[in-house]
Amino acid sequence: MLNLKNQIRAAVAASRARIMTIAEQILHHPELGYREFQASRLMRDLFGELGLPVQENLAITDCRAVLDSGRPGPTVALLGEFDALPVPAHPLADPATGAAHACGHHAQSAALAGAAIALTATKAREKLSGKIVFITCPAEEFQGLDFCRKLIAEKKLVYCGGKAELIRLGVFDDVDIAMMIHGGCEHFSPASFNGFVMKKIVFTGKASHAGLKPQLGINALSMARQALSLIDAQRDTFEDQDSVRIHGIITHGGAAVNVVPDRVELELQIRGKTPAAIRDAAEKVERCLQAAAMAFAGAVQVETLPGYMPFKSCPELEQLHAANLKSIAPEVTFSTGTHRGSSTDMGDVSMIIPSLHAYNGGFTGTPHGTDFLVTDPDQAYVQAAALLALNAVDLLFGDAATGKRIAALPTPLRREEYRQLMLETSRPAEWNYRKDKAV
Ligand SMILES: [Zn+2]
Ligand SMILES: [Zn+2]
C-alpha cells in the first residue's frame, strides 16, 4: 500500500498546476447555490477527460463520476462542494451578483479534481476493491430561501439543501462511506455540528391609519415583536447539551410608517444537536407564534422547511485521515472532538452513512467574512487533494477490509427513517384568530 500511496503523492504533486488552475477558475467565477453551472461544467469535463463515466444535471448542477475497480467492495464517495455565498464586500466578489467564495468551497472542488487525477493516473483501480465515486455538491450554503422556494414551486427541487436533494435523487443510494475536506485556518475534524429547520412566517393583521384610527387596525408588527420576545423567553427551557440556537430576521416589516402594518414576514432558523432537540425547539417556536397571533386576534401562517440534519463524525475515518495528514505534513497539529453550533448539509449524509467532514488549513480570516482568503494554496488545494485520495486508498486497498469494516458501522438513522423524518418536517401550519376570518 505504501508504494501506491507514494505514487498518489507524486501524481498529486505532478498535477499541481492543473489543480491550481481549477481552483482559480472557480474562485474567480463565484456562483450561488443551484447556479454553479460553470463550475459544474469544469468538473464534468475533467471527469470525462479522465475517462470516468459521468452522470450530470442531478439537483440542477451536480455531477457524479465513478472509478470502478471491477472487484466487489464498498463504494466510497469523495465530495466537493462548489457554491459561493453573497458577500458583496469580499475583495473577490462578483460585482454583478455579490457572490464570493467566502467559505472556500472552490478549494473543495480543486481537491476533488486533484484526487480524481491522481487516482486515475496511478492506475490505483488495479490495487483496490469496490468503487470510488466523485460527487460535486451544489448549494451547501443555505441562502436565498425565496429562490429555493421558487425552484420547489416549479418542481425543480424538493429540498433546499444540496446534499438532501442528492440523497432524495438516489445519488447516495449505493454509497457506503462519504468523505469531504473543507477549507479552513486549521486542521481539525468536528465531532458534530448542529442541524436546523427553517420557518418562513407571515403574520397578517389589518391596515388602518396609524395616527387617526389605529384602534381599527390589527398590527402584524406587534404580533411579530411579541412572538420574538416569547421565543427569547424560551431559552431557559433548552438543555445545555442540545446546543439550541434560534435566530432570524424580519424580511418585511410593513408598507408605510403611517399605516398599521397588516403583513409582516420573518424567517427563523432553529438549530440543535439532535433531530429530537430541533423538533422540541420548533414546537416551542410554533406555540410562541400562535400565542402572538391569538393575543392580537390576528393570523399567522408558518411554512416549515427541512434545513440540515445534525452532523455526526465517524471517529474511524478521522483516525485514518489524521494518519495520512501526519505522513505528508508531520508538523501539523490535527484535533478532533469539538461540537460546532453551525450546520452543514453533510449532516444529512452522516445520518445514514459513516462520514468525515475534516477541515484543512491554507486559509486566513473569518469564514463567511470579507477577509476569508487562501494564503497557502498548497495546503488548501494540493494537500487536500492528496488526503482525499490517500483516505480512499486506505479504505479500498486489497480486498477493502478497512472499508468493509467502517461501512458496517451503525449510523444515527436508517435510510428509511431519514426519508420519513424529512417528509414529516415539511409541513404548513396556520392559526387564524381574526373575528372576520378574513385571511
Ligand atoms: Zn459556509
Ligand atoms: Zn462551507
pLDDT score, position 14? 98
Alpha helices in 138-239 (DSSP H): 145-153, 162-168, 220-233
Distance 224 CA to ligand 2 centre (A): 31
Q: Are 208 and 217 in contact (CB under 8 A)?
A: yes
Ligand 1 is an ion; its neighbours by CB within 5 Å are 103
Distance 6 CA to ligand 1 centre (A): 33
pLDDT score, position 314? 98
- Average pLDDT across each block of 10 residues of the chain; the chain has 439 residues. List them in order: 94 98 98 96 98 94 96 98 97 96 98 98 94 97 85 93 96 98 98 97 97 97 98 96 96 97 97 96 98 98 96 98 97 96 97 98 97 98 98 98 98 96 92 86
Sign of CA dihedral 86, 89, 94, 97: positive
Looking at residue 309, what DSSP letter applies? P
pLDDT score, position 28? 98
Task: Confirm whether 2-194+310-408 and 195-308+420-432 share one CATH topology.
Answer: no
The one-letter amino acid at 12: V
Helix, strand or coil for residue 82?
coil
C-alpha cell at 321: 485521515
pLDDT score, position 135? 98
* Residue in the block written with cell 485556518: 185
CATH code at 195-308+420-432: 3.30.70.360
pLDDT score, position 179? 98
pLDDT score, position 218? 98
**Residues whose CB is less than 8 angstroms from the CB of residue 94 and which lie 6 or more positions away in sequence, other chains included:** 29, 30, 84, 100
Domain spans of the chain, in order of start = 2-194+310-408, 195-308+420-432
C-alpha cell at 190: 468536528
pLDDT score, position 430? 96
pLDDT score, position 149? 87
Helix, strand or coil for residue 281?
helix
Distance 311 CA to ligand 1 centre (A): 15
**Residues whose CB is less than 8 angstroms from the CB of residue 197 and which lie 6 or more positions away in sequence, other chains included:** 269, 270, 278, 282, 304, 305, 306, 307, 425
Distance 254 CA to ligand 1 centre (A): 31
Q: What is the pTM of this model?
A: 0.94
pLDDT score, position 341? 96
CATH architecture, domain defined by 2-194+310-408: 3-Layer(aba) Sandwich (3.40)
Distance 233 CA to ligand 1 centre (A): 29
Distance 142 CA to ligand 2 centre (A): 10
Report d(CA 158, CA 426) in Å as an integer: 10
* Residue in the block written with cell 488526503: 387
Ligand 2 is an ion; its neighbours by CB within 5 Å are 103
pLDDT score, position 142? 83
pLDDT score, position 102? 97
Q: Are 397 and 1 in contact (CB under 8 A)?
A: yes
Distance 39 CA to ligand 2 centre (A): 16
pLDDT score, position 176? 98
